Amino acid sequence: MSITMTMLLSLLLMKLCMIISKKSNNHEKMTPFECGFDPKSSSRTPFSMQFFMIAIIFLIFDVEIIIIMPTIKMMQMTNLKTWMFTSSMFIMILILGLYHEWKNGILEWIN
């Protein structure tokens, strides 16, 4: 009974959100605003895919550093053999990921 009510409530809320968030295709709202003048260039300029990939890799390694930080404290709390195995596997996964990115040419800035 409660699962049915939960599903019904979820479907009702999803339908309500779809009705409320209807987007209009108004051309004036899609154009960039530049102090009332026509824009000099397109506001939808493409960006460098290499820069995007380097930024994503930076974020990934930043998160990995945050994951590595507690391992120092865990070394004191756990068996040294378990800690060494876990840390070695984590570092090995990082090295394999870096090798994969290097092999696919993601880290090459100039083509």
- pTM for the complete prediction? 0.49
13: burial class by Cβ within 10 Å (0-12, 13-18, 19+)?
Answer: exposed
| Phi and psi angles of residue 37, each rounded to the nearest 5 degrees, phi first | -95, 160
1 vs 102: which has the higher pLDDT: 102
CATH class of the domain at 2-103: mainly alpha
Across the chain, mean pLDDT equals 80
Q: What is the pLDDT of residues 77-98, one digit of tens each?
A: 888 898 889 889 988 998 998 8
Give 43-72 pLDDT, tens digit per residue. 666 777 778 878 888 888 888 888 888 888
